[in-house]
Amino acid sequence: MSNLVNVPKNGSLANTNSNANFPTLSNWFDDLFNRDLPSVFTSNFNTGMTLPKVNIKETADAFMVEMAVPGLKKSDFHIDLDNQVLSIFTETKAENEDKNANYTRREFGYSSFKRTFNLPESVNDEKINAKYTDGILSLLLPKKEEAKQKPPRTIKIS
């Protein structure tokens, strides 16, 4: 996170009530996952693939994780759970060889990523479900019964 402040040309620092210098939750998560990583680790120069962004939504019954990863097949993904750590990993290799009378051209590419998430204790890890449709990997992480939010109720006074 940067500590730089914009200084006007007159050199004075105006006191404003703007929240522009405060990080948003989204920026905080991006900084947390990408901090101090050289760009060679966060993007692949052969394919332009970057570390995919993730949407996480919590409802009363579950957490929903969506990851935009177009151009892959369902079989390209490996999803593992080990000690409440969910890992999503993919690795793709592509080779293209073109032979003509006077030349041979061969191109190859490689891309991969791995995202890991520490799951809260409230997740029922026996019922995690994943699907890949139209370039979106979706995971449903249902909560344990005791962790689900119960609707408000009125308690009568006796």
Q: What percentage of residues in the chain have a pLDDT greater than 90?
A: 38
pLDDT band at 107 (very low <50, low <70, confident <90, very high): confident
In a domain, 100, yes or no: yes
Give the residue numbers spanning the domain of 80.
47-147
- For 30-48, write each residue's pLDDT tens digit: 555 555 444 444 444 444 4
pLDDT for position 12: 44
Residue 123 has pLDDT above 90, yes or no: yes
* Residue 124, domain member (yes or no): yes
> Does residue 76 lie in a domain region?
yes
Domain count for the chain: 1
Has residue 9 been placed in a domain?
A: no
- CATH code for the domain of 82: 2.60.40.790
CA distance 137 to 131: 6
Q: How far apart are the first and last CA of the chain?
A: 56
pLDDT of residue 94 exceeding 70, the answer is yes
